[in-house]
Amino acid sequence: MNGYGGKILRVNLTTGKIAKEQTPVDIARDFIGGRGFGAYFLYKEVPQGADPLGPENKLIVSSGPMSGLMIPGAGKCDFTTKSPLTGGYASASMGGHFTAEMKYAGLDSIILEGISSKPVYLFIDNDRVELRDASEFWGQGTIAVEKQFKEKFGEDFQIAVIGPGGENVVSYACINHDFGRQAGRGGVGAVMGVKKVKAIVIHGTKSIPVADSQAYRNAGKALYKACKDASFLEEWTRYGTTVVTSWCDEVGALPTRNFSAGSFEDGKNLYGPVMREKIVITDKGCFGCPSPCGKYSRSKKYGSYVEGPEYETIGLLGSNLGISDIEAVAQANLLADDAGIDTISAGNAIGWAMECYEKGIFTKDDTDGLDLKFGNIEATFELIGKISRKEGFGAFLAEGVKKASQKIGKGTEKFAIHVKGMEQSAYATHNATAMLLAYMTCDVGAHHNRSWAITYDIQVGRDLVVPEKVARVIWLQNFRPMFDVLGGCRLQWVELGIDRDLYITALDAITGIHRDWNDYEKVGERIWNLTRMFWARENDGFSRSWDLPAPRFYEEAPESGATKGQITKIEDVHRLLDMYYEQRGWSNDGLPTSERLAELNLSELVA
Amino acid sequence: MTATIRTSSALRDFLDGKDEFEVEAGHTVRETLLSLNIKPELIALVIVAGEQRSKDYVIQEKDEVKVMAIIGGG
């Protein structure tokens, strides 16, 4: 099959059985690859009611038809599972070089099944696939382990590894790769950890078949040229995602003290140019990337050397904790990466705990003696370690803010910032109705990467609740994650403004199948509806209430900053959902109708 | 008295597909953006001759002003 590795690798960790099967042509047609393959295999193969931490759950790692080819940013890899954080669908996208090696080893997906009785790592060198003893690596941080594997097998091997957070099954443990890239969200690292898989080590040398090699080369060149000629290549590369920090502060989107505000009085110390000047030492990109957004930083104060912090980490481990020292954020970033926990969820959990502490709900007796005032850098460092080790107060926060707040009660649920149990990424949404809706309806919980609509809010009117806004969110949800399906990065399109039809020319040449963007959008819609059905199948009573945002955004207006005095009224929250369900072709409870499922060729799969 | 203002290509959706405009010098970037029906709050970065400027920078004759909006997020 052109554009594909051609094989699905299944590894049963309970029995040790390793098997390969042909990548199904019809599944490639209907779900393309990457996140699409993950959604399909998850729905089809993980039985209803499976314990996310039990042997029936699977971890599905997938590349896409772009992956490993000379297309800008063609290094995205998808990790899908049933989330231990949310109990629903989890799909985490990871940059770097891992997915390219998957394709060179002839693999479109790796499916980890069952549970190993002892720590192992999966070793893949082309057709040689082995489960090997990982006892000597168990308990070590991600950076040390990746380094040891690189020394042992060579630089050409790519490694996806969990840290103590994954081993200890922290609900928001991540999977690390390339010393600073993560499949961050939804607890994919916890699933790998409970399966006792410390790492996947992979290398391949096979060719990826393409339908028309000359047309593919020409299309690839055109894409790279478009990136090189882009007006803002230099600025984007200089700052990466940190270019957005000052802007978020200005418009009231920078999470501040557990999202109680969207502007931070000391925010200037965290801005991209400040970070560039103070700690950035070089840029770092993923496979085939002409516009590297990764920044390596060195903090003299803490002695840390880390890829990052990127914007999300600055927002959640910086301003959201009342911390304005960019070097401290870099150090916290390093600690979280090495421990293998998601900086977004960890920043939310610590921010929530700090607010509880400042309100007197927690005292030092609850926090293992930590003085959890906002801005306490040392306590933040300490807590990251405690969470990853599930030690004392850290074990309580390791379940995520939804479960922690439900255990404590006392009104703390109102400032537990999550949707469906996933902590919100770094955009405060007190008065940005499209962005709020994007979080409410995101397929994994409160994550921004499916639909980032806050610019649209600002251009058309932040508090407007109109069908056009809802349509924009839906279009973005169907379209943007297609890059996670194709195995590539969306940032060249969204930030450099590359003509998206250039991708069509390339994909046609690679696969030999003509599809236009409407066709891809349809696939995006199919995946969106399938994952919605997964949520409904796995959670009794799944309906509209699951789509509600944190009450903070409709009950408590910020007392300072750009959004001072502003909230979205609960009536408007429901109006947004009414319009969203109608435009999606869903019921008033937010479930896809049988007609909609039939239109998307999903009836048989979800029957 | 004219200058050029170039916007992020990603803003084309809001600007009838255009991303480059001839503008009158002597006005601030903020005023100029408003005259083009672009909300100044959309803009994260203003660059003139390689230097970062504020939205209150007064555009000079023959300036090539780059204004960058963020569309993708982190």
Q: What is the DSSP track for A403-434?
A: HHHHHH-TTGGGG--EETTEEP-S---TT-HH
Please count the structural domains in chain A.
Answer: 3
- Degrees (nearest 5) of the Cα angle A272, A278, A279? 90
| Domain-ending residue, one of A349, A376, A398 | A398
Is there a contact between A425 and B74 if contact means CB atoms under 8 Å apart? yes
Q: Which helix (H) or strand (E) holds A215?
A: helix A213-229
Asked if A257 and A389 sit in the same domain, the reply is: yes
Cα A49 from Cα A130, distance rounded (Å): 30
Encoding tokens for residue A335? 């600690």
Question: What is the pLDDT at residue A9?
Answer: 98
Contact status, residue A517 vs residue A499, Cβ threshold 8 Å: no
In B, which residues are within 8 Å of A311 by CB distance?
73-74
Residue A14 DSSP one-character state: T
What are the pLDDT digits (tens) for B16-50?
Answer: 888 889 999 999 999 999 999 888 998 989 999 98
Encoding tokens for residue A29? 């047609």
Portion of chain A with pLDDT greater than 90, in percent: 96
Residue A416 lies in a domain: no
Distance from CA of B42 to the nearest CA of A (A): 6
Question: What is the pLDDT at residue A488?
Answer: 96
Residue A2 lies in a domain: no
Question: What is the pLDDT at residue B50?
Answer: 86
Residue A243 has its nearest CB partner, among B10, B41, B44, at B44
Confidence of residue A370 (pLDDT cuts 50, 70, 90): very high
What are the pLDDT digits (tens) for A92-134?
Answer: 999 999 999 999 999 999 999 999 999 999 999 999 999 999 9
**Residues linked to residue B5 through DSSP beta bridges, in sequence order:** B21, B65
Residue A426 lies in a domain: no
Contact status, residue A254 vs residue A319, Cβ threshold 8 Å: yes
Q: Residue A539: which of A35, A40, A52 has the closest Cα? A: A52
Question: Alpha carbon A195 to chain centroid distance?
Answer: 21
Domain enclosing residue A392, as ranges: 234-398
Whichever domain contains A492, its CATH number is 1.10.599.10
Asked if A196 and A250 sit in the same domain, the reply is: no
Tell me if chain A has a CB within 8 Å of the CB of B61: no
Residue A495 lies in a domain: yes
In A, which residues are within 8 Å of B47 by CB distance?
235
Residue A410 lies in a domain: no
Question: What is the pLDDT at residue A497?
Answer: 84
Whether B1 shows a pLDDT value over 70: the answer reads no
In B, which residues are within 8 Å of A251 by CB distance?
41
Residue A494 has its nearest CB partner, among B10, B43, B45, at B10
Average pLDDT over residues A27-52: 98
Asked if A180 and A243 sit in the same domain, the reply is: no
In B, which residues are within 8 Å of A236 by CB distance?
68
Helix, strand, coil content of chain A in percent (nearest 5): 45, 15, 40
Is there a contact between B42 and A458 if contact means CB atoms under 8 Å apart? yes
Tell me if chain A has a CB within 8 Å of the CB of B39: yes
Contact status, residue A293 vs residue A491, Cβ threshold 8 Å: yes
Residue of chain A minimizing CA distance to B20: A231
Is there a contact between A231 and B6 if contact means CB atoms under 8 Å apart? yes
Tell me if chain B has a CB within 8 Å of the CB of A185: no
Question: What is the pLDDT at residue A363?
Answer: 97
Residue of chain B minimizing CA distance to A492: B72
**Which amino acid makes up residue A390?**
K
Whether B9 shows a pLDDT value over 90: the answer reads no
Residue A455 has its nearest CB partner, among B6, B69, B74, at B69
Q: State whether residue A388 is helix, strand or coil.
A: helix
Residue A415 lies in a domain: no
In B, which residues are within 8 Å of A310 by CB distance?
74
Distance from CA of A232 to the nearest CA of B (A): 7
Residue A453 lies in a domain: yes
**Which amino acid makes up residue A157?**
F
Encoding tokens for residue A462? 């932040």
Question: What is the pLDDT at residue A403?
Answer: 98
Is there a contact between B74 and A426 if contact means CB atoms under 8 Å apart? yes
Whether A301 shows a pLDDT value over 90: the answer reads yes
Tell me if chain B has a CB within 8 Å of the CB of A310: yes
Q: Residue A342: which of A186, A487, A224 has the closest Cα? A: A186
Contact status, residue A585 vs residue A449, Cβ threshold 8 Å: no
Domain boundaries, chain B: 2-69
Asked if A594 and A455 sit in the same domain, the reply is: yes
| Domain-ending residue, one of A354, A378, A398 | A398
Contact status, residue A408 vs residue A355, Cβ threshold 8 Å: no
- Degrees (nearest 5) of the Cα angle A187, A189, A193? 120
Question: What is the pLDDT at residue B73?
Answer: 59
Asked if A497 and A560 sit in the same domain, the reply is: yes
Encoding tokens for residue A301? 């104060």
C-beta contacts of A17-21 below 8 A and 24+ residues apart = A18/A129, A18/A130, A18/A131
Contact status, residue B52 vs residue B46, Cβ threshold 8 Å: yes
Place of tokens 């390093």: A334
Contact status, residue A88 vs residue A535, Cβ threshold 8 Å: yes
Q: State whether residue A604 is helix, strand or coil.
A: helix
Contact status, residue A320 vs residue A257, Cβ threshold 8 Å: yes
Distance from CA of A474 to the nearest CA of B (A): 15
Asked if A191 and A263 sit in the same domain, the reply is: no
A361, exposed or middle or buried, with CB in 10 Å at 0-12, 13-18, 19+?
middle
Portion of chain B with pLDDT greater than 90, in percent: 55
In B, which residues are within 8 Å of A273 by CB distance?
52
Asked if A188 and A240 sit in the same domain, the reply is: no
What are the pLDDT digits (tens) for A461-488?
Answer: 999 999 999 999 999 999 999 999 999 9
Q: Whole-number mean pLDDT of chain A? A: 97
Q: What's the CATH number of domain B2-69, 3.30.465.10, 3.10.20.30, 4.10.80.40, 1.20.1440.130?
A: 3.10.20.30
Confidence of residue A445 (pLDDT cuts 50, 70, 90): very high
Question: What is the pLDDT at residue A117?
Answer: 98
Asked if A199 and A240 sit in the same domain, the reply is: no
What ipTM was reported for this prediction? 0.90
Residue A1 lies in a domain: no
| Strand arrangement, sheet containing A107-113 | A18-22, A7-12, A107-113, A59-62, A77-82, A89-94
Question: What is the pLDDT at residue A470?
Answer: 98
**A290 preceded by a cis bond (ω within 30 of 0):** no
Is there a contact between A426 and B12 if contact means CB atoms under 8 Å apart? no
Is there a contact between A244 and B70 if contact means CB atoms under 8 Å apart? yes
Question: What is the pLDDT at residue A121?
Answer: 98
Whether A449 shows a pLDDT value over 60: the answer reads yes
Whichever domain contains A374, its CATH number is 1.10.569.10
Question: Could you tell me how many CB contacts below 8 A there are between chain A and chain B?
Answer: 76
Question: What is the pLDDT at residue B70?
Answer: 77
Is there a contact between A232 and B71 if contact means CB atoms under 8 Å apart? no
What are the pLDDT digits (tens) for A186-213?
Answer: 999 999 999 999 999 999 999 999 999 9
| Domain-ending residue, one of A154, A183, A203 | A203
Contact status, residue A491 vs residue A73, Cβ threshold 8 Å: yes
Q: How many CB atoms lie within 10 A of CB A304?
A: 21
What are the pLDDT digits (tens) for A258-294?
Answer: 999 999 999 999 999 999 999 999 999 999 999 999 9
